[in-house]
Chains A and B, each alone.
Chain A
Amino acid sequence: MTIGILTLTYLVFGVISFLAFASGRKLSCILSLIFGFIALCIHGYEIVMRGIESGHLPWANTYETLILLSFLIIAIYFLTFPRYKMVVIGGFAGLIASIILALTSLLSSEIEPLIPALKSNWLLFHVVSAFIGYSSLALASASAAIYLVLSFLKRDPDQLKYLDWLTYRFICFGFPFLTLGILTGAVWANASWGRYWNWDPKETWSFITWLVYAVCLHLRSDEQFHGRLTAVVTLLGFATVMFTYFGVNFWLSSLHAAYA
């Protein structure tokens, strides 16, 4: 029930943020921030309560990680808003969080006990760092998408330059966490499966994702590649993130298939 309300709230938050961006009104911006922040607090409370109820960290299956991912996307938006002040990112963040939460309705919400493979302290570090990375890269892709849309509409070059830079900053934020997530996963794999790298589809695709973002960051070192090219590579990177997260679980046989 609460997840349904949150889905709707984030959707409204997204719409208000888009309206605030389009109108340029400060009041709409403040309204969107208040709305989003209240939803975020309820969301955080839900996660904590689920953790208390289950008796373990509340990100032990796909349903729970989807809830965590949507929470982190909004949380990172709010964390970075005082610095970057780009309300349109909130629009996309709300939309993405809403879609992710809507996806949870396809999965069982039942609290399940922790399976032996997940009984490890690495569950905290691996999942949280990977999902902070995913969330930040989701915001980077939002920024890249806005850049592409506005560049085709031939909007203010200063605004485009700012969005281009914002995409880069979100990648700079997400990439270290993605790296940490992959490598803590490798250390955990060594403790659990006796090998730190098994070329499991999840590992392979996370490495591909890492490489795509590494390429994206290298492209940034030369100004002639800034703009549309890096925006497209950023979107491609996010497509690989999504495939690593969902695609591998549904289409490939993975050691991760039992959990997330």
Chain B
Amino acid sequence: MFGENGRKAAPPLTVSKILPDTFESVLGSESKIKKVISSLGYTCQSQRKNGGLFFSASKNKWGILGGPLIHFGLVLALIGGLLTFLFSNVREFSLPEGETMEIQGIPGKIRLEKFSVLLHPGKMQPEEYVGQLMIENPKQQIERYELKVNRPLRIGWTKLFLMRYHFEILRIDVSVYRKEKLVEQLSLKMDEAQKLRHDPYEIEFNDFVPDFVINKEGQVTSRSPYFVNPAVRIAMRPSEKPEEKPLQVWAFRDLAYHQGGKTNEWSFVVDKIKKRYVSGIKLSRDPGIFVAYAGFSLLVLGTFISGFVLHRRLELYLLPAQAGIEMTMLGYSPKDRTGLEYELNRIQKELLFLFQGARA
């Protein structure tokens, strides 16, 4: 009465037909009938019962596991998610090049020795981001690792992942020219104005482009985020009148005037840029992951079983009747009853062909 899921079981699909043949010929075709049913993937058994012939067949018995596996998998994945939510330790921190940090969750100290952005040869696209880490454990043993995208570093139960990066400009060294004569060399920090020693002006740098190009309007624009062709915007104003609108010019490395640029009284050349990369590193310690992954596996397994392995059961009764043989076929399937119906019709068609063919 009740099916596998506790619901009221669907009634079996029934196909009835009178076969125009004698029961003796049916008995002689027992193996052929089995073959017809087995050709659709059924495991078939036959027995004589109540003066007739009875065939019982089924296929994909474990197909009934599909639904329960999906639902159990989903529950498990949600429990995994809950464990992750409650007990995981996922944090992101920024580690500048050359700095050492003690990070909660990792025994010892961690230092980013170097961060590199490797570009594809001849292209402005990244091939790899590499963070070279030095980890000093509590026993003061030093180990070195390379951290790359998609290749996390496992330390005990904790994993480190390479995330977004940026760079900081620590200082730029600028040569200041007046009427094409070098008048001063300064070391500037971002947004920190410095007075010239011999002239009543102060200068600062207030913008930076890591890879500049000059557009059609003659303005400096950014071509890529990679440190390839930097430009620095320098602002200059009289030191006595800091409120005055400053003279703003872009300065380039080893280049006093960019081609097409206007020659001003004052010009600047960037001699050196001191920068450092700051790598984003994600730390993750997640006790829920194994439960979630177990749930994922069951979900995948369940959906494939549910979609491709359909459990079906078949009963075929052949009983002697006045006008021939009474054929009754019952089909049971927890789902895809239309598919089962097509299958029953096909079996019926083939059996009709078998008996009519045998008679012919």
**Which residues of A come within 8 Å of B, CB atoms?**
112-113, 115-117, 119-120, 161, 164-165, 168-169, 172-173, 175-176, 179-180, 183, 186-187, 190-197, 220-221, 223
Contact = CB atoms under 8 A, between A and B. Distances in A.
Contact of B335 (A117, A176, A197, A220): A220
B150 A175 contact: no
Majority DSSP secondary structure for residues of B touching A:
mixed
Majority DSSP secondary structure for residues of A touching B:
helix
B161 A194 contact: yes
Nearest to B335: A221
Contacts of B123: 113
B302 to A, nearest CB: 9
Give the top 3 A-B pairs by smallest Cβ distance, nearest first.
A176-B303, A194-B161, A194-B282
Contact of A115 (B126, B159, B299, B304): B126
B254 interface: no
B213 interface: no
For B127, B296, B335, B337, the residue with the greatest tally of chain A CB atoms inside 10 Å of its CB is: B296
A114 to B, nearest CB: 8
Contact of B289 (A168, A179, A183, A196): A196
B81 interface: yes
B119 to A, nearest CB: 9
A214 B75 CA distance: 15
Interface of B: 81, 84, 90, 120, 123, 125-129, 148-150, 152, 159, 161, 163, 282-284, 286, 289, 292-293, 296, 299-300, 303-304, 306-308, 335-339, 342
B128 A116 contact: yes
A196 to B, nearest CB: 6
Contacts of A221: 335
A120 B335 CA distance: 39
Contacts of B161: 192-194
B149 A119 contact: yes
Nearest to B295: A183
A175 B70 CA distance: 12
B282 A193 contact: yes
A175 B149 CA distance: 30
Contacts of A192: 149-150, 161
Contact of B150 (A117, A161, A186): A117
A116 B300 contact: no
A139 B161 CA distance: 39
For B129, B150, B292, the residue with the greatest tally of chain A CB atoms inside 10 Å of its CB is: B150
Contacts of A172: 306-308, 336
A192 B161 CA distance: 7
Contact of B90 (A191, A194, A223): A194
B296 A161 contact: no
A196 B289 CA distance: 8
B338 A194 contact: no
A29 B233 CA distance: 69
A56 B208 CA distance: 35
Nearest to A226: B338
B34 to A, nearest CB: 24
Given A165-B342, A176-B303, 5 more contacts: A113-B127, A165-B339, A173-B308, A186-B292, A195-B286
A197 B289 CA distance: 10
A258 to B, nearest CB: 11
Nearest to A121: B150
30 contacts: A112-B125, A113-B120, A113-B127, A115-B125, A116-B126, A116-B149, A117-B150, A172-B336, A173-B308, A175-B303, A175-B307, A183-B299, A187-B293, A190-B289, A191-B150, A192-B150, A193-B161, A193-B163, A194-B163, A194-B282, A194-B283, A194-B284, A195-B282, A195-B286, A196-B84, A196-B289, A196-B292, A197-B81, A220-B336, A221-B335
B152 A194 contact: yes
Contacts of B127: 113, 116
Contacts of B126: 115-116
A197 B335 CA distance: 32
Contacts of A120: 150
Contacts of A161: 338
Nearest to A123: B150
Given A192-B161, A194-B159, A194-B284, A183 B296 contact: yes
B150 A116 contact: yes
Nearest to A223: B337
Contacts of A175: 303, 307
A223 B10 CA distance: 10
B293 A116 contact: no
A120 B303 CA distance: 25
